[in-house]
Amino acid sequence: MSRPGTTPGPLSLNTATVREQWSLAQCIEGCARHGIRGISPWRDKLAEYGTANAARHIREARLTVTGLCRGGMFPAADAAGRRAAIEDNKRAIDDAAALNAQCLVLVVGGMPQGSKDLAGARQQVQDGIAAVLEHARAAKVPLAIEPLHPIYAADRACVNTLAQALDICDALGSKAGDGHLGVAVDVYHVWWDPDLARQIARAGSRVLAFHICDWLVPTSDLLLDRGMMGDGVIDIPAIRGMVEDAGYRGFCEVEIMSANNWWRRDPDEVLRTCIERHRSVV
């Protein structure tokens, strides 16, 4: 059921939703064909197409780039690895600027291979973001830290709650309204958090992106079995209400990684379903 008396923000397609069926060019054309106003590319598909080609195609299709996925992956076992991550993030920032993206989403990275130092990995994340923040400011690209569900703490993201993400923002001088550093709220990763409402309110205008999908029960794969909105247990309208109450007025970005279901379907059917569920259950 949608949030009573309100209409969700416009729909954006995170291209992960149809990444196995379509190239980035096909995603752009699909969004235009279905009247979806936003798009969020992944960097591997962007590299295949070419940033300049993608930027031109997106402009011609009159789409808003709601985010570029992804920067981050800062922790490394040695100084050389950490420097390489910083340089890669600067390249991601430049690509995001070329696309006029509303943010660069940071999936921050887990613990280096062989490490058990979770606190140290989190410090490396903060240090890495600090090292690229001026580059992002100069490029006018906001950085959006995306906390991931704790199941990913070891290998994908050692920042697992909005509180942790906002602590990094605070430590690096981010304030509501400055637009340089904030968070991406993905319902798949935060729906379980008992402190969610308070932390979203704390974030305020630092909510830079809102990602939607659903958590299936049972879940057959913790990475590649995301559900279509309305097919799982997440109270998506409640979380939308939280981000809107905090001041968010942006896009609802659908991001579904589904190896055994949606990635096997006709992509036009997938987009039609996204549009219908965005209207009926978000």
Q: Which domain holds residue 238?
A: 11-280
User: What is the maximum alpha-carbon separation in the chain?
Assistant: 53
Examine residue 128 and state whether it is found in any structural domain, yes or no. yes
In the predicted structure, residue 234 carries a pLDDT above the cut 70: yes
Examine residue 133 and state whether it is found in any structural domain, yes or no. yes
Q: What average pLDDT does the chain have?
A: 97
Paired with 40 in beta bridges are 14
Q: What pLDDT is stored for residue 198 in this prediction?
A: 98
In the predicted structure, residue 2 carries a pLDDT above the cut 60: no
Number of domains in the chain: 1
In the predicted structure, residue 144 carries a pLDDT above the cut 80: yes
Examine residue 1 and state whether it is found in any structural domain, yes or no. no
Q: What pLDDT is stored for residue 4 in this prediction?
A: 62
Beta strands 68-72; 64-65: pairing state? unpaired
40: which residues sit within 8 A by CB, 6+ positions away?
Answer: 12, 13, 14, 15, 65, 66, 67, 68, 69, 101, 105, 253, 255
What's the CA gap between 141 and 46, in Å, rounded? 17
Closest to 172 (Cα-Cα) out of 204, 129, 203, 120: 129
Examine residue 6 and state whether it is found in any structural domain, yes or no. no
Write phi, then psi, for 223 (nearest 5 degrees): -110, -40
Examine residue 24 and state whether it is found in any structural domain, yes or no. yes
What's the CA gap between 6 and 236, in Å, rounded? 13
| Residue 105: C-alpha distances to residues 2, 11, 13, 254 (Å) | 26, 17, 14, 14
As given in the structure block, the two tokens for residue 23 are 């190239």
Examine residue 97 and state whether it is found in any structural domain, yes or no. yes
Examine residue 3 and state whether it is found in any structural domain, yes or no. no
Examine residue 5 and state whether it is found in any structural domain, yes or no. no
Q: What angle do CA 200, 211, 38 make, to 5 degrees?
A: 125
What is the average per-residue pLDDT within 199-218? 98
CATH of the domain at 168: 3.20.20.150
pLDDT category at 3 given cuts 50, 70, 90 is low
What is the average per-residue pLDDT within 36-46? 98
In the predicted structure, residue 134 carries a pLDDT above the cut 60: yes
